[in-house]
Amino acid sequence: MNLLRELLDIDGFAWPWLLLAAALPWLLQLLPPLRSANGEAALRVPWHRRLREVAAGSSGRPHPRGFPWLRWLAWCLLCVAAARPQQLGPPMAPPQTGRELMLAVDLSASMGEEDMELGGHIVDRLTAAKAVLADFLDRRAGDRVGLIVFGDRAYALTPLTPDRESVRQQLDGTVVGLAGRATALGDAIALATKRLQQRDANAPARDRVLILLTDGVNTAGLLEPERAAQIARDAGVRIHAIAFGGAGAAVSVFGFQLPLGGGDEVDEAGLAKIAELTGGRFFRARAVDELAGIYAEIDRMEPVQRAGQVVRPRIERYPLPLGLALALGGVVLLARRRAA
């Protein structure tokens, strides 16, 4: 059997016991012919002589005893096909599964405050947030991620999708004031909740998480943040709220950084209440490294279920021996027809 496996380049058979049927024609040849009690043929018909002539062929020579090798080879190939030869395919791992994760990013005017240090340079808050979020997205393989931005109103830039690169590109294209210069926190939470509820009915249920990043207080929109948080809680959405911002813009005078104000105007108590209502957590970040640490903490709190055990699928290889058996059968029939 090992030789047969090497010849067919297979790893095994699903039903190897069917290979024993290859010897069946030879065993039938060993059985004595059926005869009656007086030694004559068990079945006598008027056209018995004609049947013998047909069996002997047109040449009149008796049919050769035994089982012709070509037909036996075709029979063996049929037995091999019936045994279902199989080959192990390349290793495959089940896909990763994760969260339904919505990112809500504040694009109000205050996100343009240049009070963050990134790579040795002073940058605005939105630029710093983009850098941290890009790294966060890299670690979320298996999640379906969506992006919402908000200012005077809330807008969905990307629906929930496993294509994190599309989310990153949309995030890179955002600018301060794109959605208006105010802060509609409640509307952002409500829109994110609505989008998180829209999923394929055939898709497996996942945890729904909203990560809300803002540097201000609710100053616009139709819905109060606390009421929106209650709606999110009832929909099974967990909110992690991040208050982001430093001391505001500063000007350098003789090497000293003098603040110009604009910092720390954030509703920390309100954001903490939102997170508490939905079972999430509240975070405060005043620098880029603190923000990066917060997203790393959220990454640990909302883990992606890693891929399961690697498996190798079995590929059926019976078509080859079956095709050869049919081809040999056709050759045998053609040879018999020509001999007749």
Mean pLDDT of 223-244: 95
Does the pLDDT at position 162 exceed 80?
Answer: yes
Ordered by where they begin, the domains of the chain are: 2-91+312-339 (no CATH), 100-301 (3.40.50.410)
* Confidence (pLDDT) at 259: 47
pLDDT band at residue 214, thresholds of 50, 70 and 90?
Answer: very high
Check residues 173 and 24 and name the one with the higher pLDDT. 173
pLDDT of residue 237: 95
Whole-number pLDDT of residue 207: 86
- Asked if residue 326 has pLDDT above 60, the reply is yes
Q: Which of 115-119, 255-259, 279-283 has the highest mean pLDDT?
A: 279-283
More confident: 258 or 221: 221
Q: Which amino acid is at 237?
A: V
Pick from 163-167, 280-284, 311-315: least confident: 311-315
Residues 298 and 42: their CA atoms lie apart, in Å, by 88
For residue 59, the model assigns a pLDDT of 45
AA letter at 71:
R
For residue 249, name the pLDDT band (cuts at 50, 70, 90). very low
Instruction: Name 97's Cβ contacts closer than 8 Å, sequence gap at least 6.
Output: 142, 204, 206, 304, 305
Check residue 5 and give its pLDDT.
57
Position 295 pLDDT exceeds 80: yes
Q: Where are the alpha helices (DSSP H) in 156-313?
A: 164-172, 185-197, 225-234, 268-278, 288-301
Strands 282-285 and 256-262: unpaired
pLDDT at 308: 57
Those residues with Cβ within 8 angstroms of residue 37's Cβ, 6 or more apart along the chain or in another chain = none
Give residue-wise pLDDT tens across range 263-277. Answer: 457 889 999 999 999
Confidence of residue 63 (pLDDT cuts 50, 70, 90): very low
Task: Please choose, from the candidates 271, 264, 138, 159, the residue with its C-alpha nearest in 3D space to the C-alpha of residue 213.
Answer: 271
Spatial distance between the Cα atoms of 161 and 148, rounded to a whole number of angstroms: 13
Cα–Cα distance for residue pair 184/170, rounded to 1 Å: 20
